[in-house]
Amino acid sequence: MQKTKNTNEWINWIEECVSKEYYRLYEQKHFSNIQNVGTGGFGKVYRASWKNSQYFALKSFFNFDGVTAKEIVHELKLQRDIQFHNNIIKFYGIAKFDPENQNSQSNNYLLVMEYAESGPLKNYLKENFNNLTWNDKYNFAYQLACAVSCLHNEGIVHRDLHSGNVLVHRNIIKLSDFGLSKRIESSSNTQSKLFGIIPYVDPNSTQIFSLNEKSDIYSVGVLFWEISSGQLPYYSKSEQYDIDLALEISQGLREEPAPNTPKDYVEIYTECWNGEPDKRPTINQIVERLKTIMTKTNISMENDQTILSFHSTLTEELNFNPTNTDTLLNVDNSLHGEMSQIIQNFDKMNTREIVPTSLTNENEKKLNKIVNDTVNYTFKIINEGKESTHIKNNKDILDYFDNNINSQEIYYLLLTNQNNLDSIFLLGYFNYLGIETVEDDKKAFDLFIDASEQGHILAQFYVGLCYEIGRGTVKDEKLAFK
C-alpha cells in the first residue's frame, strides 16, 4: 500500500508541474521523423524533428513507475543547476506519447533534451580518430573536465561516466545522463548490467552508492586514455567484458599509453586511475593542469572560433533602436503563489531543492519582451561610447534593474527558460555582475560562449572582454581581438 502511495506521489508531482506549465509540455503533433538512435538499460532515446526546424532527443523509460518517476524528478533538479554549461546536454521540457505507436494514448513521459548530432564519444572516435590532432584531443579532454567540474562544483556526482553517455555535438563535448539509469536500476533492486562499462568503474567501489567524486575522477582517467588512443579500453574482438576483467583491474591492470601521447597528458590520466582514491587529483586540479599545458603549447581552448571584433560589428549587426527601451514591463508575479505551494508539497517528500520554474505561453512572451528590452538597454549603455569604462556601465545597469524591474524574479525564471539567445546572454550577464547571485565568472563565460557561437553579438563582445581581462578564462589578448 505504501509503495502505491509513493508511486502516485511522485507521478502526481510531475503531473501537477506539467498541468501548471512549470515545465514546458511539447505536443506530439509538432514532432516528426522520429527515429530510435539508442537503447540502454533504462529505456530508449529517439531523434525527432520539432516543427521541421530543429532536432531534439527524446528520452523514454521502459517502466514508468514510482521509482522511475522519483529518479526523473531528481534528474530534473540536477538539470536546473547545471544546464547553463555549454558542455552539458540541455533539458528543454517534457512530452507525453509513445514514439513507437503515436496513434495510441500513453501515460509515459519523455524528456525532451538537446540532440547531439555526432552521437556518443565512442562512435565519434571510431569514425573520426584518424583526423584528430593533439589540439583536438586536448580540447576534448579539457571540455570533458570542465563539464565534470561543473557537476562537482554543484555537489553532484555523475556515477556513470563512460564513452556511451559522453556525447559530441559539432565537435563540442556534451555530458548527459547524470547517473539516472544506474539509480533507477539500484532503486528498483534489479541486477545492474555493469559488464558493458566495467573499464570505467572505480575498482574501489563495491556498491552503487559508494561511488563518489573520486570515482568520477577514475572514469575521467579512462576516458582521457580513450580520447588519446581512439580505442575502447581493454577491448578485444574475441572477448567480452566480464567479472575476470573487473578482478584484474582491481588488482592493478591498466591500459598502456598510446604511441606519441605527450608525457604530461599521460601523467594526468594515470594519476586519475590511481588505485588509491585519495591520491587522485580533484577535477579542478585537472582543469588547471590542462589549461597550463594548452597555454604553454599555444593550443586554443574550447569555442574561441566565433569571437568577433566588437568595434567593427556590434552596431551594424544588432541594428539597435534606442526607443525599444523606453518602456519595460514588470515581471508577472501571478505564478508566485502557486509555485510556493508546489514547492511546499515537494518539501513534504523529503527533498530540499527548489522546483525549477517554467512559464505559461503568455508569461513566456512577457519574459521574452523583458529580456529583449533589457539586452537592448545593455547594448545602449555600451554603445554610447563608454565601453572602455565598463565598471561604470555595470553600475548604470544595476541601477536600471533596481528602478525598473524585479531582477530576482527574472533571474529565477531565466534559470530554466534558456530558450533563446538573449536569455542565455542575460543569465550570463547576471552571473557576470552578481545580480541576484554571487559573481561567477566561469558560469558567465560559459553562457557567453554558448550564445556567442550561435551568433549573439553582445555575447561575442563579452567573450572578447573576458579573454582581454582574464575573467572566467585564461587571459588571452590575441583571442580577445580575434
Whether 288 shows a pLDDT value over 90: the answer reads yes
Q: Please list the residue range(s) of the chain that carry CATH number 1.10.510.10.
A: 121-296
Mean pLDDT of 162-178: 90
CA distance 18 to 25: 6
Q: What is the pLDDT of residues 300-327, one digit of tens each?
A: 665 433 333 333 333 333 343 333 333 2
What cell numbers appear for 296 in the block? 604553454
Ranges of CATH 3.30.200.20 domains, the chain: 2-114
Has this prediction a pTM greater than 0.75? Answer: no
Of residues 384 and 424, which shows the higher confidence score? Answer: 424
Indicate the range of 38-47, 160-169, 262-271, 387-396 predicted with least confidence.
387-396
How buried is residue 144: exposed, middle or buried, by Cβ count under 10 Å (0-12/13-18/19+)? buried
Q: Residue 201, CB half-sphere, CA atoms under 13 Å: how many?
A: 25
User: Has residue 114 got a pLDDT over 80?
Assistant: yes
Whether 116 shows a pLDDT value over 60: the answer reads yes
Reference 26, options 62, 50, 53; nearest CA is 50
Domain 2-114, CATH among 3.20.20.70, 3.30.200.20, 3.40.50.1110, 3.30.360.10: 3.30.200.20
- Higher pLDDT: 213 or 343? It is 213
Question: Among 78-92, 298-312, 443-457, where is mean pLDDT lowest?
Answer: 298-312
- pLDDT at 412 exceeding the cut of 90: no
- Between 146-150, 171-175, 244-248, 312-316, the lowest mean confidence (pLDDT) is in 312-316
Grid coordinates representing 329 are 514591463
Phi, psi angle pair for 118, to nearest 5°: -90, -5
Q: What is the per-residue pLDDT across 175-195, written as a single tens digit (0 to 9) for each? A: 988 766 556 666 654 444 444
CA-to-CA dists, residue 259 to 225, 228, 262, 263, 275, angstroms: 11, 9, 9, 11, 24
Residue 214 annotated as lining a ligand binding site = no
CATH topology of domain 121-296: Transferase(Phosphotransferase); domain 1 (1.10.510)
